[in-house]
Amino acid sequence: MEYRQFGQTGDLVSPLGFGAMRLPKEEKEALQVMERALDLGVNYLDTAPYYMDGTSEITVGKAIKGKRDKIYLATKNPIKDASGANWRQRLEKSLRNLQVDYIDYYYMWSINLDVYENRIDVPNGPLEAAWKAKEEGLIRHLCFSVHDIRENVMKIIDQNVFAAVLCQYNLLDREHEKTLAYAKAKGLGTTVMGPVAGGRLAAPSEMITKMLPQGVQSSAEMALRFVFSNENVDVTLSGMGTKEMVEENVATALRSEQLTPEELKRITKIMAEKKKLADLYCTGCEYCLPCPMDINIPEIFSYFNHYNIYGLKDYAKEEYRLLGKKGHWVKGKNAQFCLECGQCEKKCPQKIGISKRLKEVHKILSEEPEKKVEVDWYPR
């Protein structure tokens, strides 16, 4: 494994990080999966208090017993309020769950600029508590994970508070490509979540596997190689649930060359062309909402774009099947509830015949997928 400098921390981390959010439910099997990753050279483990119904930190703690000095441990603190005392309580609970004396990279979890300004950097707030915890040696580096827009993330970076940033970046979502470059230039460690786009790029797609003339084995391989090729990415997190997945991902990480500059240009051109086609169908502006029947029109059309344009057919069908299910993060109903009232069509700037399209999409996406795929039940 060729390790990378993690920002200015002085740490050498594996380019592939283990995301402990999709561990097997049986503890013995989960421990074996993590043990295999550690044996193959993965030294960055990422967990969080709520992963695996609250059991992830506990399982990770068991996996690293006797190996603490060989791995870098990351977990997160959900900023629920502006209380430094409450932040400290959550930190101490994670330390107990993990059965460790310190955490290497402690992330303020899924924050945005508003949360930073009004909940974190306030008198007696989480930031003051974090500095105290750092002085006590409970955390080595304070970091943040984020889903905010690029401009706001850069403003957070400019506070010169954090040692690393964790954001989403993948073949389908390059919003934070410039964010990663900016963070890298400012000396932060850079970690990427969702390299396979929340399961989307783990699904089979002939279009994606054949973007290169020589082809690749799978959509997931292409997705990982794309992220690994970015020199501004230190760690790419993958939620690995089997030893086979660990071995496949490690093999991809160990490639001497991921993608050449010419191959990256080719992929960028193809994806840009596909994006234009997707926008012709629906730009996702949401002007059609609200629907009186609570149909999530933009999300449904997004699924169909994945089906029709990116070739992610099984993924699109599975997401459509989950739409409206209890516990799923995506709100709203599927297209079968459309009354053809036409309200949405009056508001659509693309002048899409929405009612007719919804019927067509429902017929296609209601079909059984050829292959079962796993997709996220939480935001991408």
Q: Which pLDDT score is estimated for 201?
A: 84
Task: State mean pLDDT over 34-63.
Answer: 97
Contact (CB, 8 A) for 119 and 81? yes
Q: Is the pLDDT of residue 138 over 50?
A: yes
> 0.85 exceeded by the pTM?
yes
Q: Is the pLDDT of residue 378 over 50?
A: no
- Which own/partner contact pairs does 367-373 have at CB distance under 8 Å and 24+ positions apart? 367/317, 368/317, 369/313, 369/314, 369/317, 369/318, 370/313, 370/314, 371/203, 371/204, 371/314, 372/314, 372/318, 373/199, 373/202, 373/203, 373/314, 373/315, 373/318
Angle (deg, nearest 10), helices 27-39 and 243-253:
20
308-333 burial, b at 16+ Cβ within 10 Å, e below that, comes to bbbbbbbbbbbbbbbbbeeeeebebe
80-94, 113-127, 344-358, 364-378: least confidently modelled range: 364-378
Q: Which pLDDT score is estimated for 60?
A: 98
| pLDDT confidence band for 280 (50 / 70 / 90) | confident
Q: Which pLDDT score is estimated for 379?
A: 42
Q: Is the pLDDT of residue 7 over 90?
A: yes
**Amino acid making up residue 126:** P
Q: CB count, 10 Å around CB of 126? A: 30
Size of the chain, expressed as the number of residues it contains: 380
Q: Which pLDDT score is estimated for 375?
A: 67
- In terms of Cα–Cα distance, which of 332, 331, 326, 312 is closest to 373? 312
| pLDDT confidence band for 191 (50 / 70 / 90) | very high
Q: Which pLDDT score is estimated for 67?
A: 96
CA-CA distance, 194 to 314, in Å (whole number)? 18
Task: State mean pLDDT over 18-44.
Answer: 96
Q: Where in the chain is the domain with CATH 3.20.20.100?
A: 4-261
Q: Is the pLDDT of residue 157 over 90?
A: yes
Class level of CATH domain 4-261: alpha beta
Task: State mean pLDDT over 356-377.
Answer: 85
Which of the two residues, 187 and 277, has the higher pLDDT score?
Answer: 187
φ, ψ of residue 30 in degrees (nearest 5): -60, -40
CA-CA distance, 130 to 108, in Å (whole number)? 10
| pLDDT confidence band for 277 (50 / 70 / 90) | confident
**pLDDT per position as a tens digit, 202-243:** 888 889 999 988 888 888 999 999 999 999 999 999 999 999
166-180, 190-204, 329-343: least confidently modelled range: 190-204
CA-CA distance, 303 to 318, in Å (whole number)? 9
CA-CA distance, 209 to 223, in Å (whole number)? 9
Q: Which pLDDT score is estimated for 376?
A: 60
259-290 burial, b at 16+ Cβ within 10 Å, e below that, comes to beeebeeebeeebeebeeebeebbeeeeebee
Task: State mean pLDDT over 241-250.
Answer: 96
Task: State mean pLDDT over 33-38.
Answer: 98
42-56, 158-172, 291-305, 323-337: least confidently modelled range: 323-337
Burial of 148 (0-12, 13-18, 19+ CB in 10 A): buried
CA-CA distance, 98 to 62, in Å (whole number)? 7
Written as one string, the DSSP assignment of 277-330 is HHHHH-----TTPPPTT-B-HHHHHHHHHHHHTS--HHHHHHHHHHTT-TT-SS
* Mean of per-residue pLDDT scores for the chain: 93
Contact (CB, 8 A) for 91 and 128? no
CA-CA distance, 118 to 229, in Å (whole number)? 37
Q: Is the pLDDT of residue 98 over 90?
A: yes
